[in-house]
């Protein structure tokens, strides 16, 4: 059994450290224990500083993983924890492979992305593992009426694994507002993962990931994100302030 070791606080937000994230999720899936998975990074952390609804959503999530390099460095350098980065896309991929490999018969749903992207992502995974049960996809661009139809579809189908790719903070808030429709499901915000799986965009080369520079490759692909990237130095400065002033005071 995979065990949650501890939850650590990063600016008031929980980060869960465990030995086997996918195994823990599969156990909850098999026992019908609904779970909201949040992939925390520096950008989301700084958004939560200004958005109390987002902060409460993260605090109420059953699993918050250390997705961003900034979160990992914070835990390592300030809290002296041996933590490994867990990219959300990789956890989602592991979960999909495990669900397809085991006789769980879990139904999967993809929601988000530009028109047609989630469907292409589903086709990709079905080509990789035909035993997966992907019961539906839905674009992230729709009218209010279409979104209500989506809610009715989810309530009717009751998928057990629901990936939501609407971007931060929209996907986290949407999950919190709608997870009651499928209370036994694993709900996970996956950002731009559908773009990667569909082939619409490419993931950063592995060597950039080893040096925690995936954000630079994403900025290259989406230069309009530069304003959002300002959250990275903001996070670093706040962490430095905490290290110099708050941590000595607490000790």
pLDDT in tens, 50-98: 999 999 999 999 999 999 989 998 998 888 888 999 999 999 999 999 9
Other CB atoms within 10 A of residue 190 CB: 26
Q: Are 237 and 70 in contact (CB under 8 A)?
A: no
pLDDT at residue 128 is higher than 70: yes
pLDDT digits (tens, 9 = 90+) for 183-206: 999 999 999 999 999 999 867 566
Helices then strands (H, E): number in the chain?
Answer: 14, 8
Residue showing tokens 């694994």: 161
Q: Give the whole-angstrom CA distance, residue 235 versus residue 230.
A: 9
Residue 238: which of 81, 73, 86 has the closest Cα? 73
Phi first, then psi: give them for residue 235, nearest 5 degrees: -65, -45
pLDDT score at 98:
92
Closest CA to 13 of 158, 189, 34, 46: 46
- Cα-atom radius of gyration of the chain, to the nearest Å? 18
Residues 99, 170, 85, CA angle at the centre, nearest 5°?
55
pLDDT of the residue at 152:
98
Sorted by sequence, the CB contacts under 8 Å of residue 188 that are 6+ apart come out as: 36, 37, 39, 88, 91, 92, 95, 161, 162, 163, 164
> What is the 8-class DSSP label of residue 243?
I
- Token output for 186: 């694993």
pTM, rounded to two decimals: 0.89
Question: How large is the average pLDDT for residues 114-138?
Answer: 96
């Amino acid at each position: 059994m995979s065990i949650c070791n501890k939850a650590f606080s990063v600016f008031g937000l929980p980060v869960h450290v465990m030995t086997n994230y996918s195994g823990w999720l599969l156990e909850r899936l098999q026992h019908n224990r609904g779970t909201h998975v949040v992939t925390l990074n520096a950008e989301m952390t700084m958004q939560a500083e200004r958005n109390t609804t987002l902060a409460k959503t993260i605090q109420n999530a059953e699993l918050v993983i250390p997705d961003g390099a900034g979160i990992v460095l914070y835990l390592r350098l300030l809290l002296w924890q041996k933590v490994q980065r867990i990219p959300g896309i990789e956890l989602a991929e592991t979960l999909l492979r495990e669900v397809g490999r085991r006789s769980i018969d879990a139904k999967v749903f993809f929601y988000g992305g530009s028109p047609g992207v989630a469907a292409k992502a589903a086709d990709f995974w079905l080509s990789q593992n035909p035993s997966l049960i992907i019961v539906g996809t839905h674009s992230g661009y729709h009218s209010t009426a279409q979104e209500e139809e989506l809610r009715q579809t989810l309530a009717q189908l009751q998928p057990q694994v629901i990936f939501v790719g609407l971007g931060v903070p929209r996907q986290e808030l949407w999950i919190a507002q709608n997870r009651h429709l499928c209370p036994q499901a694993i709900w996970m915000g996956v950002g731009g993962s559908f773009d990667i799986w569909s082939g619409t965009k490419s993931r950063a080369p592995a060597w950039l990931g080893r040096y925690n520079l995936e954000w630079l490759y994403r900025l290259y692909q989406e230069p309009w994100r530069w304003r959002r990237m300002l959250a990275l130095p903001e996070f670093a400065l706040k962490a430095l302030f905490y290290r110099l002033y708050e941590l000595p005071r607490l000790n």
